[in-house]
Amino acid sequence: MDDIAAGYCCDDMETCLGASSEAALLEHESGLILVNAGRTEQDGEEGSLFLTVQFCPFCGTELQTDEDIDAALEAVE
């Protein structure tokens, strides 16, 4: 996986990914860039809902391809 996000494609992404673990955008230990889409409840348990981010929401740079995302998700499972 290209580690573009770790090099920060733009100043806004650097600011967002450098924030706390409660931030809207974060980089998972797998290297995936995720957006915190909110809270969810499943089977009586509450948690956060994270979605993968393929393109930077600020500058449009491709951060990760579908193949990158699939490979990282397979490694986590």
Indicate the pTM of the whole model.
0.74
Distance of CA 30 to the CA centre of its chain: 10
Q: Chain-wide mean pLDDT for the chain?
A: 84
Flag whether pLDDT at 5 surpasses 50: no
Confidence of residue 2 (pLDDT cuts 50, 70, 90): very low
**28-47 per-position pLDDT tens digit:** 888 899 998 888 998 999 98
Q: Are strands 45-52 and 25-27 parallel, antiparallel or unpaired?
A: unpaired
